[in-house]
Each structure stands twice: as C-alpha cells, then as structure tokens.
Structure 1
Amino acid sequence: MTIKCKVKSIEPLACNTYQILLHPETPVTFKAGQYLMVVMGEKDKRPFSIASSPCRHEGELELHIGAAEHNAYAIEVVESMQKALEQNGEIEIEAPFGDAWVREDSARPLLLIAGGTGFSYVRSILDHCIAQSINEPIYLYWGAKDACQLYAHQEIEDIAQKHSHVQFVPVIEQASSDWKGKVGNVLQAVADDFASLESFDIYIAGRFEMAGAAREQFTQNKSAHSEYMYSDAFAFI
C-alpha cells in the first residue's frame, strides 16, 4: 500500500549519514526489524530499515540513511526528502516489508549485529525489546569504518548501563590513539567473543556480503542454527 508522508525533519547523524523523520498520513503498522520502500518512481522503490520501534514511534517513522559521495542510490533519496521538506511537499512510501523482525516469543538470547547504518535495524529491535520488558540477554555488536560513524554510541552505552541484560560492543576498522574499544572486523569480533552461538537468535543488518559471510562463518564454525539467523539480505543472496 502506498502511503503519503510529510518529511518532518532531516538532521545529520555523522559524516554523510542523516536521520529523517517522516509523518505518514495514515498510521503504519509494522514489526521491529521491518523496513519500508521509498517510492522514487513507478518501478524505482528503495528499501530502508525503520529505526523507530513499533511500540514507541508516536505516528512517526525514523530512517537513518547513509549517503556517501559514491552512493547515488541513497543520495538521491535524501535529496528528494530535502526537496519535500523545503517545499512542504510529500514523499511516498510502501510499508511494511521484511521477514527479519524480532521473534518476541523466543526465550533465546539475542545477538544483534550491525554494519554501518544497518544499526537502524537493530536499534528498532533493541528499543522494542526494552519497551516490552524482554529480559533475555541482548548483545549488540556495531561495526563501522571509524568512531565518528558510530553516531549513537553514547545512546547505546547509556542503555547498556541502565539495563544489565544489554551488552554493547562497538568495533571500528580505523582507530585513533584514544580509542579503547575493539578494532577490526565486526564478525571477527563476534567470533572471538563466543565459543558457540548455538543458543542464540541472531539478527544481522549491513551489506549483503557481510550477512552472507556471517551465516556461513557462524553456522560452520560457531554451531549457529541458520533457522535462528535473521536478515532481509538472506532473501537476495
């Protein structure tokens, strides 16, 4: 179903990364971890994870869009949103989509893995689980090129401090001398920290090749069960 939305705000989160708040003309019902399509044309619909959680979005939909210079696919969407904001116009979306939503009835611990702005996907799941008082252990691993791309670092640190069942592990590829966290590949960081992933529900968002590598590595080397691994990328690889 096509839904018209007002663009309420566009704010920078990090270098070339934007937070966009949309106000749909009719309420959108979705599950934590689902995504929407921004309609750019009749045959041009572009997917973005919904960063807000279904229980605490107050009628608005939040997106985190990484629009680096080489990524025209995302830049064009941000530009379209900016034009709508300036002209008090509307954009169109279709929603919801995706099968990688959080399984709330599961009693298994959660492992949330995000690469870059894939964080928006796991943020929705984390926020929803906390709001619904889901107290299974939650491990959130967020990988990025450098520390400035971890735009919600302090927000998640604060959540982890407040909720003892939440552990946050940021991982960056390029570290400055004052960085005190993990350095390298986010999947390797997970592999280093867990002898087995057999008992986990695993949720993954990032580049398709990262999701594919996670499924292969974790099922082969860490006893993860593919039926308990969730990523919308799996439908395309």
Structure 2
Amino acid sequence: MTIKCKVKSIQPLASNTFQILLHPEAPVAFKAGQYLMVVMGEKDKRPFSIASSPCRHEGELELHIGAAEHNAYAQDVVNAMRQALEENGDITIDAPHGDAWVKEDSERPLLLVAGGTGFSYVRSILDHCVAQKKSNPIYLYWGGRDANQLYAKDELTQIAAQYDNVHFIPVVEQAEANWQGKVGNVLQAISQDFESLADYDIYIAGRFEMAGAAREMFTQNKQALSERMFADAYAFI
C-alpha cells in the first residue's frame, strides 16, 4: 500500500551513508527482512530495506541509504528526503515488499550475510530474533571496503557479547594496522569458516552479483540448500 511519511531525521552513519527515520501517517505492518519503495514518480519507485524490526520500531521506519556521489539513484532519494525534512513535507512510500523475510518457525541456525548497506536487511532480522528471544545460533558476516563502512560494528560487538547465540564476524577488503577482524572477501571468509552449510537458513543482502555468487558458491561447495537461501535479489536473478 502507498502511505505518506514525515521525515523525522537524517543522520550520517559513514561516508556517504545515511540513517533516515520516517514516521508514516498510519502504522505499516511488515516482516523482518522486508523492504519499502520510495515513490519518486508514478513509474519510479526505488527499493530500500527496512532496517528497523517489526517488533521494536515504535511506529517509525528506519532506512540506511548508501548515496555515494556517483550513485544518482540513491542520491536523488536522499535529496528528496532532505527537502521534505526542511519543508516539513511528505515522502510517499509503497510498503511492504519482499519474500526474503525471516522464517520464524524454523529452528535451523541462521547465517546472515551483508555487503555494505545491505546490513540494514540483516539488522532487522537480527534485532527481531533477539527481541523474540530466539535461541537459534546466529552468525552475522558483514563485509565492507574498510572499517569505516562497518558503521554499526561496535553495536554488533556488544550484542554478540550479550547473547551467547549471536556471533558477529566483520570482514574488510582494506585493513588498517590495528584491524582485529578478517580481511578479504566476505563470501570467501564464510567458506573458510564453515565445512558445511547444509543445516543453515541463509539470508543475504548486497549487490545482485554477490547474492548470485553466494548461491553458486554455497550450494556447490558447502552443501547449502538453495530453498533455504533467502535474498530479494533471487526474485530477479
């Protein structure tokens, strides 16, 4: 359904990455892992994962938008959000969308995989599982170009320390001298850490080519079940 929202705040999370809080004029029912579409025109709707979880969002919808200078697709949306905030205007969204939500009835361990701002997708799932006191083992791998891109690293480290079933593994392509995590490609890091993924429910958010590579790599080399791999990208590739 389409619904008008007020833009409550826009805050920088990292270089060219913004947290945007929207307040819809009526509650939006969604599942952890779904996305919304920002309506830019009659035939121009742009998808962004909902970073808030359905059980702890207090009526607000949180987005994490990566809007690098060369990315006009996202930059236009951030600019429209800024204008609405400054003028106390409205932004129209179409929500909810997506079939890659968390399967709450599953007792299988979860592998959450994010590239860049794909983190917003797995953040919603993680927060929902923690709030629901689910005891399934949860492994969250987040890959970025460098440590600065992993803007919620401290928050995730604290969550992992607080909950025995949550494990956070950050992966960067370019490491500084004091970096404590893994270095390289996030999918390769997972392949090195797991002998088999046959028992896992796997949730992935990142570029389409990353989701495609993960499905090929994990099903062929790690016994993952394609029907237990979930990503919005799989509806298109």
Tell me which interval the TM-score lies in, with the shorter structure as reference length: over 0.9
In the TM superposition, residue 5 of structure 1 has moved relative to its aligned partner by 0.1
- Superposition map of 1:85-234 within 5 A: 85-234=85-234
SS of 2:173's partner is strand
TM-score norm. by structure 1 comes to: 1.00
Amino acid at match of 1:9: S
Aligned counterpart, 1:79 = 79
Runs of 4+ deviating beyond 4 Å: none
In the TM superposition, residue 180 of structure 1 has moved relative to its aligned partner by 1.3
1:142 & 1:108 partners in 2: Cα distance? 20
Consecutive unaligned residues of structure 1, counting only runs of 5 or more, are: none
1:65 aligns with 2:65: yes
1:36 aligns with 2:36: yes
TM-score norm. by structure 2 comes to: 1.00
1:156 & 1:70 partners in 2: Cα distance? 29
Per-residue CA deviations over 1:133-174 (Å, capped at 9, x if unaligned) read: 111000000000000000000000000000010000000001
- Superposition map of 1:6-45 within 5 A: 6-45=6-45
2:4 & 2:55 partners in 1: Cα distance? 21
2:202 & 2:44 partners in 1: Cα distance? 30
1:28 & 1:203 partners in 2: Cα distance? 23
2:206 & 2:28 partners in 1: Cα distance? 24
2:103 & 2:80 partners in 1: Cα distance? 34
What's the C-alpha RMSD, in Å, of the aligned pairs? 0.3
SS of 1:69's partner is coil
In the TM superposition, residue 70 of structure 1 has moved relative to its aligned partner by 1.0
Amino acid at match of 1:130: V
Consecutive unaligned residues of structure 2, counting only runs of 5 or more, are: none
Amino acid at match of 1:91: I
Amino acid at match of 2:233: A
Between the two proteins, the alignment pairs up a number of residues equal to 237
Aligned counterpart, 2:56 = 56
Per-residue CA deviations over 1:49-94 (Å, capped at 9, x if unaligned) read: 0000000000000000000111100000000000000000000000
Amino acid at match of 2:191: A
Amino acid at match of 1:37: M
Amino acid at match of 1:73: Y
